[in-house]
Amino acid sequence: MVRLRDIWQRLYPYGVFRTGEAVYLTFDDGPIPEVTPQVLEILAHYDVKATFFMVGENIDKHPEVFDQVVQAGHAIGNHTYNHLKGWCTPTEEYLANVAKFPKETKLFRPPYGKATLLQRRALVKQGYRLIYWDILTRDYDSSRTPEAMYEQIKREVRPGSIINFHDSIKSNERMLAVLPQVIEFLQAEGYELKELRSDEY
């Protein structure tokens, strides 16, 4: 059965939506002291590694939280310096904002998943791996419940899935409530939970 997600992936080149046989937990928009350390505690409890697509401005504001993520062995991805929407930003400005990211990484996720074809081509040419997702939890949506997110992940997960969460104020209560359940379910189902690495695909 062809899913709408699969059609979207074929129409949106230069992006990784699934990869390998493991499952990848990813967190966008941090690091922030109100949420990110709590995510780290949960991941450490279950001995799980994840990938954090960070906003460069937040790294500069909260370097101590960034250091906690790195010291815990998680992967870091570039989420632009100011969380720019590519569709609304001139290409030269967008690429300059990506380049302003204060740490070295070749993993990149466009904020909102929105970057123009020209922007994506330029980033790939610069050596970036454009990481999207197979499962969007929409934990930022106040109408979503942890139960709904949990059932969605149970229903949609498959080998290679990349699951999108947010370590942000907007998402924290819902995301933190469901994250342990999700990890326990995935581990019980026999999935390996890994961080993304730019040289693996």
**What digits encode the pLDDT tens for the residues 136-170?**
999 999 999 999 999 999 999 999 999 999 999 99
**What digits encode the pLDDT tens for the residues 19-28?**
999 999 999 9
Domain boundaries, position 58: 18-194
Residue 1 lies in a domain: no
Residue tagged active-site, from 139, 166, 167, 199: 166
Residue tagged active-site, from 28, 29, 134, 139: 28
Residue 84, domain CATH: 3.20.20.370
**What digits encode the pLDDT tens for the residues 49-106?**
999 999 999 999 999 999 999 999 999 999 999 999 999 999 999 999 999 999 999 9
Active site residue 166: yes
Token output for 29: 């928009």
Find where tokens 């791996």 sit.
Answer: 129
Residue 88 lies in a domain: yes
Residue 36 lies in a domain: yes
Count: domains in the chain: 1
Active site residue 28: yes
Backbone angles phi, psi at 79, to 5 degrees: -125, 30
DSSP H helices, the chain, are 4-11, 36-45, 56-61, 63-71, 91-99, 117-125, 146-156, 172-188
Residue 103 lies in a domain: yes
Q: What pLDDT sits at residue 14?
A: 76
Residue 23 lies in a domain: yes
Q: List all residues 6 or more positions away from 179 whose beta carbon is below 8 Å from its beta carbon.
A: 39, 42, 165
Residue 6 lies in a domain: no
Q: List all residues 6 or more positions away from 135 whose beta carbon is below 8 Å from its beta carbon.
A: 152, 153, 156, 157, 161, 162, 163, 164
